[in-house]
Copies of this chain bind each other. A is one copy, B any other.
Amino acid sequence: MKLHEAPSPNARRVHVFMAEKGVELERVAVDIRAGENIQNDYLAKNPAGRVPVLELDDGSFLSESVAICRYLEGLNPDPNLFGATPLEAATIEMWGRRAEINFMSNVAGAFRNITGFFKDRETPVKEWGEVCAEVAPKTLTMFDEQLDQTEYLAGAQFSIADITLGIALDFAEMVKVVTIPDLTNLNRWRAQIAERPSWGAS
């Protein structure tokens, strides 16, 4: 299998996931700044034009980073990062979606609309970016309150939900469009996941 990728929070999500599993894959760089991902050759791999994409050994392609992680989980069940019981799986899905919908999508909205990073291929609306930048930090209270009760987002077990929120926070800091508030439990948890050997995976 080969992972077609470009530096991005979604690629990093897969890298951390792979490191947790001890999985290694051949990598193929995609130049998204030059728009390689919106050319026909790439669109044949992923019609949504996004990275990363996993090329399977039969020549078919799987995209969407969470779908790629779920496939890798199916092939390498231990340690499980998507939950084992129905309630674990659902709780991890809930927190992963909250991390994406409430925080990560607002960070992405702020970044893309304030900086115009992809203005050659989409219409940025600065005012919307500013709304996203204002909303994103407020959504973190919910995670901080949960982390007052539990070690990781979905309970006692580190999961894909922690990876999603963690990489979104790191990305928000890197691109500097969103101010991360100082929240005790969130800080404790960030320090804890940053110590995992997987966290520096690239």
| Chain A residues packing against B (C-beta within 8 Å) | 47-48, 56, 62-64, 66-68, 70-71, 73-75, 85-87, 89-91, 93-94, 97-98, 101-102, 105, 113, 122-123, 125, 127-128, 131, 134-135, 139, 141-142, 145-146
Verify A67–B47 contact, CB threshold 8 A: no
Q: Contacts A48-B142, A67-B97, A97-B67; is A105 near B105 (CB within 8 Å)?
A: yes
Contact, CB under 8 Å: B127 / A64? no
What would 19 more interface pairs be, CB under 8 Å, given A67-B94, A127-B127? Answer: A48-B101, A48-B102, A56-B87, A62-B94, A63-B94, A64-B97, A64-B98, A67-B91, A70-B86, A70-B90, A71-B90, A74-B89, A74-B90, A105-B105, A122-B131, A123-B134, A125-B125, A125-B128, A128-B128
Contacts of A66 in B (CB 8 A): 93, 97
B102 touches A73 (CB 8 A): no
Q: Is B48 a contact of A98 with CB atoms below 8 Å? A: yes
User: With A94-B67, A128-B128 in contact, is A74–B86 under 8 Å at CB?
Assistant: yes
Residues of B within 8 A of A139 (CB): 48
Do the beta carbons of A67 and B48 come within 8 Å of each other? no
Instruction: Looking at the assembled complex, report how far the CB atom of A145 sits from the nearest CB atom of chain B, in whole angstroms.
Output: 7
How near does chain B come to A3, taking the closest CB pair, in angstroms? Answer: 14
A143's nearest neighbour on chain B, judged by CB, is B47
Instruction: List the 10 shortest-distance A-B pairs measured between CB atoms, nearest first.
Output: A74-B86, A71-B90, A128-B128, A67-B94, A67-B93, A47-B142, A125-B128, A64-B97, A64-B94, A67-B90
What is the minimal beta-carbon distance from A164 to any residue of chain B, in angstroms?
13
Are A62 and B75 in contact, CB atoms less than 8 angstroms apart? no
Q: How far is the CA of A87 from the CA of B123 in the complex (A)?
A: 35
21 contacts between A and B (CB under 8 A): A47-B141, A48-B98, A48-B142, A62-B94, A63-B94, A64-B93, A64-B97, A66-B97, A67-B91, A67-B93, A73-B86, A74-B85, A74-B87, A75-B86, A105-B105, A113-B128, A125-B127, A125-B131, A127-B127, A127-B128, A128-B128
